A and B are shown apart, each in its own frame.
Chain A
Amino acid sequence: MSLIDTSANCNRWRRRSLAEKALLALGMLAIAVGVPSWQGAVLVAIVMSGATLVGARVSPALWWKTMTAPLGFLLIGVITLALQFDGMHVSLAPNGLPLAGRLAARAVAGVTCLLFLALTTPATDLIGGLRRIGVPAEIAELALLIYRFLFLLTDTAAAMHAAQAARLGQITYRRHMRSLGLLIANLMPRAFSRAKALETGLAARGWKGELRVLSPVRRASVTAIATIIAVELLIVLIGLRTS
């Protein structure tokens, strides 16, 4: 979680406009899912991995680490597609391998698109984008506060966990469960007192019930948008040709 957040805030494309990144990621995602031939999906996966690793210079180790979880799920799904179970016999399903391969190509392509967005775009920009496309202020503010307090709460929980471990709170399974219960029970009142303190802090700055802040302006570059559209059209054409 916090590694993804660090990458989103520290990559080379951090300051590029949300419009460019969203057009690239969501456009490519639509192509990966929608274009009839699987070759299109393979191209999408190549382009999006390139954009993440070469363009935005996201660390390959981190990229691979975040890829493994969805790939694991995918592997299980693909195996069940490729094989058929007949009582005690397991055999290759007719047409199973090509089918599994095509599905895998599309799914991997889709994952690279979403990971690109997650690893290059700070949550703040995404929430700002939600506001701009007309999501109600209450929902956007809630998302912002959840994002902000997620880190405070995990820090507090980690500190409490370490304090319990220092007093051998996790020495047996029974103790472990008991300590975990205490930890969760203690996080609750802490979260409440945090919320109250935050309210005092906001009131001191003239809060009137709305969390209005000024977001930095990032203009989308016309060349970047044109390039993205051109690449996407090209992949669509190749995809249609090869089908």
Chain B
Amino acid sequence: MKLLEACALTHTYPGSVHALDGLNLSIERGQRLAILGANGSGKTTLLLHLNGTLRPQSGQVLLEGRPGGYDSASLIAWRRRVGLVLQNADDQLFAASVAEDVSFGPLNLGLDEAQTRARVDSALRALHVHELAERPTHMLSSGQKKRVAIAGLVAMQPEILLLDEPTAGLDHQGTEDLLAVLAELEASNTTLVFSTHDVELAYRFADQIALFSDGRTLAQGSTVQVLSDRELLRAAGLEAPLLLKLGLRARELGILAAHEPLPRSAAEALTLLKVTV
């Protein structure tokens, strides 16, 4: 059963070209999906449709096969199941302290004080920002802000978490920490969908990729399958990730047997080198 589906979505911003141009996408439960595309390919516009913020000019968004409604009761039910984390964490954090900000979502779900406290506590722990609970939101680093912004949605326990460019602006350690907590979240049955223009990140972290260009899905399939198709990537204005190129070349040269897995990290690629030397 498809958890969330976009069917032939179109959206045009006033005075510009099509942001979405008959776009199709499907998300299955437990998948880790990367929405991969160059800047301006319509990734953010799509995410805003997937939680009902924007209403498609034509086409529809289906939640478990049923079209999502745009009245306020349906939107609340929709957003309870589909959480969206904006690219800029500062656009999301409004309260003065971390714990207060994270309590906003659960309170809107109508939970009482004790339940809200428990949700805030577990969300802050899940994102490893528990020690920052009483810190004012403007006294956090970008990496911390990002994780607090995500905690604000995790506290609502959505089935799907949509993340717009989650690693944008983060340094190496910030990115590593974030990916680690996201992997932990997935273990607690949250389906992760993230947009990115970074092929290396998509290759490393996603198991499915939807490749975007000019408001359309060029392909949706397994990570290796999509990223091995040079023609497709060129059409999207992207290039295959270095690690994948390395792995495929190793297979051609017979260094890596066809049944063995391709290297997904620098460490795995280095081991491959060691074998040959």
Contact = CB atoms under 8 A, between A and B. Distances in A.
Contact of B139 (A6, A152, A200, A204): A6
Interface residues of A, number: 32
Contacts of A206: 76, 79-80, 105, 108-109, 156
B108 A205 contact: yes
A9 B117 CA distance: 22
Interface of B: 48, 51, 53, 72, 75-76, 79-80, 83-86, 88, 90-97, 99-101, 103-105, 107-109, 113, 116-117, 120, 134-139, 152-153, 156
Given A151-B138, A204-B84, 6 more contacts: A124-B97, A197-B91, A203-B75, A205-B108, A214-B120, A216-B134
Contacts of B96: 122-124, 127, 144, 147-148
Contacts of B91: 194, 197-198, 200-201
A201 B92 contact: yes
Nearest to B110: A206
A215 B98 CA distance: 10
B108 A213 contact: no
Interface of A: 5-6, 9, 15, 122-124, 127, 144-145, 147-148, 151-152, 194, 197-198, 200-208, 211-216
A215 B101 CA distance: 10
Given A148-B137, A203-B53, A206-B80, A211 B94 contact: yes
Nearest to A144: B96
A144 B95 CA distance: 7
- Highest count of chain B CB atoms <10 Å: which of A152, A202, A211, A213: A213
B79 A204 contact: yes
- Highest count of chain A CB atoms <10 Å: which of B95, B99, B101: B95
A226 B53 CA distance: 53
A191 to B, nearest CB: 12
A213 B107 CA distance: 7
B136 A211 contact: no
Given A9-B139, A201-B91, A216-B134, A211 B104 contact: yes
A194 to B, nearest CB: 7
